[in-house]
Amino acid sequence: MSYRTRQPSRWLRNLILLTIVAALALLGWNWRGLHEKALVGAAYGARVGCVCRYVSQRPFKSCEGDLKAAGLGRVAGLVSLSDDPATKTVSAGLPLLAHQSAVFSEKTGCQLEPWDE
Q: Which residues pair with 97 in a beta bridge?
A: none
The mean pLDDT value of the chain amounts to 83
Domain residue spans in the chain?
33-112
1 pLDDT higher than 60: no
Residue 103, H or E segment: strand 98-105
Mean pLDDT of 97-109: 92
Surface-to-core class of residue 113, CB atoms within 10 Å of its CB (0-12 exposed, 13-18 middle, 19+ buried) = middle
User: Other CB atoms closer than 10 Å to residue 45's CB: what's the count?
Assistant: 30
pTM of the model: 0.69
Reported as a single tens digit per residue, the pLDDT across 36-85 is 888 888 898 999 999 999 999 999 888 877 777 666 666 667 788 999 99
HEC string of 36-102 equals: HHHHHHHHHHHHHHHHHHHHCCCCHHHHHHHHHHCCCHHHHHCCEEEEECCCCEEEEEECCCEEEEE
